[in-house]
Structure 1
């Protein structure tokens, strides 16, 4: 009967391994494992005891069926217990591929044939068993004929653990006892706070959010909450607290978050689920009823124009430097793109804004927002005569302009350029794709490199201007150095020198058997990088030179290996890219842009291979 309701048929297409690999990352990143168990490679469930079981997904779903469910779970399960995770179509395919990639034989390999006689009997059985009381058919809503909860006998029927003309739900003793206790308590006994707690618990909002002493990210799941910007600290990866949220957010904004999926924290990889308006919209009114802050007496002012000008000054680099950490008009701050200043007045209630400005820690314990008015005293005495409340009001008046707010001073900055004139210059900081132990070197002949002292490799090279250090010299210094020039070549992560048969499995950390030994400088301030591996001392030394015949600058890289004894089974990576072509004897061209000439190539064993998806 169910098969007769649709023309679609179950199919079992092959699972693409790349899609499954992407799906594993997405499953463990966007918030699925806040409720479901994270999985090992096998795929064994790691936290099954405290998770909602997925069951044998591969025996239940086809890829197409699971993709359709993941894209719009509320269509099938409108109660919202499985929310919409704002997945793109391709993300849904990836997750479905991952969950269905279990190493098992498909239980269905051929289309199930439709039998009209059995379909007619199935339809009668569907009605006889009362399936339509819970399930919709042909877009018709369920037609329940159930008793009111006040008329239910807690020890009879479904709750009796006896077979009869009622469904057998296979409830555990704990579940049965909990339901019986809930039936005794009438809805009139519940306060607004109780209704909030019931919704947050039932929808498992408390797996990500904390409200007072209820919920919050558990220690065992903390590692699955990520951020795209570690500079923001815990608040950059952990969903915000719901304690006092009714006193914080304007009702219209809160409804947009709960119902329409509006978000202001793109750096938090865990997504805000959509549970459906019927299931969570009532929280807006409940939060408003329950959450309150002491009333604020706002300062009186006569010159609104002057106040807004002072607000513009406070936001900029000549004031409190707000734009260094906050996004402005959708333009992210370079180092710490916290919530957008131009959305604050739309989001926040004015009373809450005042309380937060006066004492950020009192409302957000883990915030990295500094206090500019400690103990009520303004740090900037030269603006509005140091009147704390007037300064806060000036900020609020400025923020009321929203997207139309005037551009504050310091938002647009001129680049800084490090120059290498007669000697090489070095800058030890974080570079794109390289950790904080990156060492950049700019050479007078305008060929430049970055050495990764964490993973002991040549990380990148380029020609032209050296670098803009503005990202690490300005503000709080948590950004990255920006290479200037052109023809930038990036090389694969992992150490250049490694064991040929048992190489280190590359991750973001430090290879355990490699040791950086520092560097020395020659008379032109060019570094000789030194490190040790497997009893071998390595020196990596680059010199900028000019090719006399073509008047082109190039780097001559000299590698020296010293050891007390012989050591076989090692490999040294000279370069990597999308493609490597062997040209003349000893000449290799990487990605059609970088030419490497290996001296004495005839006596060296040189080959090209694919390593971790890169030509090497």
Structure 2
């Protein structure tokens, strides 16, 4: 074999015998190979040899993106045709041809166009909407975004004869056998076209009706604090004001005084009214000062500030933008400027308001100070709350600190403040020691809501002896719309819509046409597993949820935020069970599914045995994707099967198994019973209902269910014998551009070709590739052996003064140039930084004194002219200790020794320490030699 070819044969040890094919450097791609075969042969063998079950699983894989493009789409408009309802003239041969030659026949209505703008920008996609003013295209990129272009900005529009489906898409499957499996599944879909079925009926509004939004606002602004509201029949609890006994000592007295004096200016968008609008400026300031002293007197706790922790703030920024905070609050740019302020719940001058410790307490459990639940509990740990608090406090000034409070409590002013507090009827909304709770104490003193004069009061927008609210014209109109209905009796679907809107559940969830993740906030909904597509990051739909979840499970979700999707990084908040408990019954009353004829069976033991078979790899292969008893599948961590029967209603399960996409539009779950016809005609005589019943009976055993076949796989192991072995695949913490190398002496590395760095080093056994080979390439290679060291991200060679700010991308001034292999197949990596060419070589060596293997790394740097100001990172860790002049110990596990011509420095980082070596190229090549020993 040519030693410079980047393919290396490897020895595999596994429980079952297998063969390894080592392709030549100029081998054809799979697509090219398949195109060279006759259409008749591929069609015949797909029907005879293809496995529809395996094909169904391939259909869901992210690299093929079948479900992304051929899925339900937006507003019922798919990017590509619905493969469950193919036209009658589609043949087996047509399916094969469509996969290999997608541009040969493009379904009418799914053609793409190219728009050239006046500015020279080219946009290609499917035409979704057009009118006299604009054209909207859906473009074939990761999230299939829609782009609207004004007609005035368009130069030309031209049709395309090339399909958006890539011509070489079949290169993404592993081999010819998988291609035949995929075709066989499509054949099944074509033969058993889906019939229309009824789906869950739910409240469905394009947007919440104005009169319902008015009901939300009446509770949001707590109008009943002043006005009796006998006509209201809403189960939604009013938004209560913060508990003042909790706030004292945790909120800055200076902020309190400013806010009380002028709440609408200090925090625009606040629901706190200005109750002193009738006072002149001096009187307002005096009243605010007195009330502030009264509030501070409610606690012995003193307000104290602490400096912002920069490292914590950086972590907090990432949490703030991923756990769900920005579903309601505005995301922020690097300068802390709110980017969606107009459509977000305002935070106000939060760094002026709280102490860091007070904000941490609030974030950990907002319900203790605001029990009405509009600010929910986000299940933050103490350290997560600390990080987010530091992030929110860090926008105060460049130093991240502020001066200490100079407030001195004056008891005389506090006594006067209590009188002011009573006179202004603050206790109508706020609870505090010595005053009754708002719900049982302060009685309404004004007219009933139904009798208010809207031209002379809170809704008039004019100043007077009434509270002044910061109401927009739309809010005013919505409240008036609600009051125009004298009965104000809400149906159960309306109760649901009002509650979901009030608690902003619809910012994350969609129910019917109400709510859903907005385009602006969509990028902030992240996942730990991109293989799952949108269902891996977008919270599930609430459409039909009352017919889906068992009431007890739903109560646990609402009460404690119980979750089954750990890959969705946005968390399920807790609003307080007393605030949302009515939803359990309301959902159940509103959502109904058509009746189902459940299958009858005679032998429970036998039916569960069949269910075990169907769930396993010898049946429907459910276990390939689903977690079971907390043990992850090889393919992706889809919802755990263990609790499924406890969670789901049986009727919903039957409907879902027959047609997953109808009930869960974002799902990548394939249909194993398309059109009601089973893909496994050999099990239970192909009886669809009986097969579904068998799976259900198996799931009923929950944690006592037998382990299905295929869950436990014997590990694979790559061995290096006389030569080094390489595996270019995805590695933990590296990604898909990882290059693992196992050396004959039992020392190993993983090199990151994306960021040009030594990412991992370990000794002993090399690696288990099962994570990528068993999951169609989507998992990770698992390093074996011991003493694994993970090094920090970012390139090893960089500018000493202006290093690249590390993220997940490729450094812009670094370029990977491949590698060459020596006679023992050991690679020498080649890359460039700016004008410096680097050859980075690792050689396994035996220490003569101890007989132990170690790695020698030789880094050769070449430049056309002298270059100084470089730094090379040799290692990183939590702690690095200098043993002697040139020897350093990393995390007390790995020793790094530097050659005689260079010196090492220990530098502090946000995550620990790193060992760097200053470099200057005065003559080319310049060499740096490092030794890594355990």
How high is the TM-score relative to the length of structure 2? 0.62
Q: Tell me the equivalent position of 2:608.
A: 308
Does the Cα contact within 8 Å between 1:154 and 1:183 map onto a contact in 2?
no
Q: How far, CA to CA, are the matches of 1:611 and 1:65 in structure 2?
A: 28
Q: Does 1:4 align with 2:297?
A: yes
Structure 2 counterparts to residues 351-390 of structure 1, below 5 A:
351-390=651-690
Quick one: distance in 2 between partners of 1:573 and 1:72?
42
Q: CA, structure 1 residues 89+178, in 2 after alignment: closer, same or farther (shift >3 Å)? A: same
Which residue of the partner structure matches residue 325 of structure 2? 32
Deviates more, 1:568-577 or 1:410-419: 568-577
Residue of structure 2 equivalent to 1:524: 824
1:84 matched to 2:377: yes
293, 308, 313: which one pairs with 1:20?
313
Partner of 1:481: 781
Q: 2:431 aligns with which of 136, 144, 150?
A: 136
Select 1:260's aligned residue among 551, 560, 576.
Answer: 560
Aligned to 2:548: 248
Contact 1:248/1:349 (CA < 8 Å) preserved in 2?
A: yes
Q: Structure 1 residues 258-267 or 390-399, which shifts more? A: 258-267
Q: Deviations along 1:365-412, whole A, 9 cap, x unmatched?
A: 221212222222222233222222211111111111122222222323
Identify the match of residue 907 of structure 2 among 594, 601, 609.
609
Q: Distance in 2 between matches of 1:301 and 1:98?
A: 59
Contact 2:880/2:913 (CA < 8 Å) preserved in 1? Answer: no
Post-superposition shift, 1:583? 4.8
1:431 to 725, 731, 741: 731
| 8 Å contact from structure 1 (residues 9, 111) kept in 2 | no
2:419 corresponds to which residue?
124
Contact 1:541 1:559 in 2 (8 A): yes
Q: For 2:689 and 2:756, how far apart are their aligned partners in 1?
A: 53
Find the aligned partners of 2:383 and 2:486 in 1 and give their Cα distance.
46
Residues 103 and 165 (structure 1 numbering): CA distance in 2 closer, same or farther, change over 3 Å? Answer: closer
Kept after mapping to 2: 8 A contact 1:249/1:347: yes
Aligned pair partner of 2:339 in 36, 46, 60: 46
- Preserved CA contact (<8 Å) 1:308 1:397: yes
Taking a change above 3 Å as real, the CA distance of residues 46 and 523 of structure 1, as seen in their structure-2 partners, is: same
Match of 1:350 among 630, 633, 650: 650
Partners of 2:443 and 2:884 lie apart in 1 by 84
Report if aligned partners of 1:3, 1:114 keep a CA contact under 8 Å in 2. no
2: distance between equivalents of 1:80 and 1:153?
31
The counterpart of 2:769, out of the listed 469, 488, 497, is: 469
DSSP-derived class of the 1:254 partner: helix
Q: What secondary structure sits across from 2:825 in the alignment?
A: coil
The gaps in structure 1 that reach 5 residues or longer are: none
Q: Counterpart in 2 of 1:63? A: 356
**Cα distance, 1:579 vs. partner?**
4.1
Residues 1:383 and 1:124: Cα distance change in structure 2 (over 3 Å): same
What is the CA-CA distance between 1:36 and the residue it aligns to? 0.8
CA deviation digits over 1:565-607, x for unaligned, max 9?
44443333333334445556654443343333444x23x4654
**Matched residues in 2 for 1:64 and 1:579: separation?**
29
- CA deviation string 1:273-308 (max 9, x = no partner): 122233322222222222222221112211221110
User: Secondary structure, in 3 states, of the residue corresponding to 2:466?
Assistant: coil
Deviation of 1:504 after TM superposition, in Å, equals 1.6
**Offset, 1:172:** 3.4
Shift of 1:232: 2.1
Aligned equivalent of 1:319: 619
Tell me by how many angstroms 1:450 deviates: 0.9
Q: Give the secondary-structure state (helix, strand or coil) at the position aligned to 1:91.
A: helix
Residues matched between the structures, number: 613
Q: 2:392 matched to 1:99?
A: yes
- Tell me which moved more, 87-96 or 430-439: 87-96
Alignment of 1:288-307 (within 5 A): 288-307=588-607
Cα distance between partner residues in 1 of 2:323 and 2:561: 14
**448-457 or 490-499: which moved more?**
490-499
* Among 145, 150, 154, the residue aligned to 2:443: 145
Structure 2, unmatched stretches of 5+, are 1-293, 916-934
Q: Report the Cα distance in structure 1 between the residues aligned to 2:372 and 2:818, rounded to whole angstroms.
A: 61
In the aligned structure 1, how far is the partner of 2:703 from the partner of 2:360? 37
Alignment of 1:484-495 (within 5 A): 484-495=784-795
Kindly indicate whether the alpha-carbon contact (under 8 Å) linking 1:155 and 1:180 is maintained by their aligned counterparts in 2: no
**CA 1:357–1:542: 2 relative to 1, 3 Å:** same
- 1:134-181 Cα distance to aligned partner (Å, 9 max, x none): 222338421242354333343333223344432222433333222112
CA distance in 2, matches of 1:534, 1:107: 45
Q: 1:590 to 1:67 in 2, by over 3 A?
A: closer
Candidates 539, 551, 555, aligned match of 2:851: 551
**For the residues of structure 2 that align with 1:355 and 1:180, how far apart are their CA atoms?**
43
Give secondary structure in 2 for the equivalent of 1:574: strand
- Structure number with the bigger relative contact order (C-alpha 8 A, sep ≥ 6) is 2
* 1:210 matched residue in structure 2: 510
* Distance of aligned partners of 1:567 and 1:92 in 2 relative to their CA distance in 1, 3 Å threshold: closer
CA offset digits 1:459-480 (Å, max 9, x no partner): 1111111111121122343221
Alignment of 1:371-410 (within 5 A): 371-410=671-710
Q: Per-residue displacement from partner, 1:26-54 (whole Å, max 9, x unpaired)?
A: 22221111111112333221211111111
Q: Offset at 1:188?
A: 4.5
Check the 8 A contact 2:634/2:774 in 1, yes or no.
Answer: no
Q: 1:79 and 1:488 mapped to 2: Cα distance? A: 49
Of 340-349 and 93-102, more deviation after overlay is shown by: 93-102
* Cross-structure match for 1:230: 530
| CA RMSD after TM alignment | 2.4
Matched, 1:197 2:507: no
| Contact 2:427–2:436 (CA under 8 A) maintained in structure 1 | no
Cα gap change, 1:230 to 1:132, in 2 (>3 Å) = same
TM-score, normalization by structure 1: 0.93
